[in-house]
Amino acid sequence: MPRGDLFPDIAPYETGLLPLSGGHVMYWEQVGNPQGQPVLFLHGGPGAGAGAVHRRFFDPAHWRIIIFDQRGSGRSRPLGELAGNTTPNLVADIETLRRFLGIEGWLLFGGSWGSTLALAYAQAHPERVQGCVLRGVFLGRAAEVEWFLYGMRRVFPDAWAQFAEHIPEAERGDLLTAYLARLTDPDPQVHFAAARAWSQYEGLCSTLMPSPETVASFAQDRTALGLARIEAHYFAHDLFLPPEGLLGHMARIAHLPAEIVQGRYDMVCPAESAFDLAAAWPKARLTVIPDAGHSALEPGVRVALVAAVERFRRRG
């Protein structure tokens, strides 16, 4: 997939491991201009981890780019650990990282679950947030989880069949419980097989046009285990969000500027949530990409995300 509309590959100028509560250790990195405007990248999932391509949404001459892997994800340790892994913990981890790096405030950039976490953090610490660039909005509502588990079969019946058939027919009425039991089974053969089935399902449904590259990246064992196990854990606990949900606290961030980029044919996080968020956020600008699905690397989505970041750059 050509990605000439992103900035060139770049290596971090600093990386580290930061001890957190409950025995977790966070991998973090800084990229770009050490004296630049800080921007925090929040990966999806929960549990997906960040990758080198995520550095490329930002002009390294201008931005001080901070990327980290959330608890149990990617290069953070222990991989796939669920103990102490909640949204409030992740929000606290971001504050731990901010203080460690000596940053007063930053722009938040997140897609899918990354948009959820960006909203949760901004609502908890609005004084530390300069604005948000969000993509493929996920608000963590019960209907959104139900759509992921069952609704996507309306558009991707073949992918859903593979997903469901990993579970015995008698248990398919509650796929989440059945998958979580297997994803937390101590036998690697059991939990890796379940993780691959879950992650491949998400990968198959993430792009408008078939993308073997996307599916292959989701299917890698380490990526799959962090993504599937942590995602199922969060789904089973209502994403560890308050009963009134994220839209119930929009007054806390109503003054902040935001850019929302949404693929019209996003099947993982349907456009309804992005429209609901934009309607509740007076200073948000919603850009709908007419020929895109969920992935941040869909051509129209990545162009729009770079443009959104550049508009924040001009704000100063």
Catalytically active residues, by annotation: 112, 266, 294
Which of 253, 244, 243, 247 lies closest to 272, judged by CA? 247
SS3 for 25? strand
Which segments in the chain show pLDDT lower than 70?
1-4, 316
Hey, what domains does the chain have and what are their CATH numbers?
14-141+239-312 (3.40.50.1820), 143-237 (no CATH)
pLDDT at 316: 60
pLDDT at 216: 82
Instruction: Output helix, strand, coil percentages for the chain, rounded to the nearest 5.
Output: 50, 15, 35
Per residue in 77-102, pLDDT tens? 999 999 999 999 999 999 999 999 99
- DSSP code string of 177-216: HHHHHHHT-S-HHHHHHHHHHHHHHHHHTSSSS--HHHHH
Share of the chain above pLDDT 90, in %: 93
Mean model confidence pLDDT for the chain: 96
| pTM assigned to the model | 0.97
SS3 for 248? helix
Which of 243, 247, 207 lies closest to 116, judged by CA? 247
Per residue in 203-231, pLDDT tens? 999 999 988 888 888 878 778 999 999 99
pLDDT at 147: 98
Per residue in 240-258, pLDDT tens? 999 999 999 999 999 999 9
Cis peptide before 78 (omega within 30 of 0): yes
Q: How far apart are CA 122 and CA 131, in angstroms?
A: 9
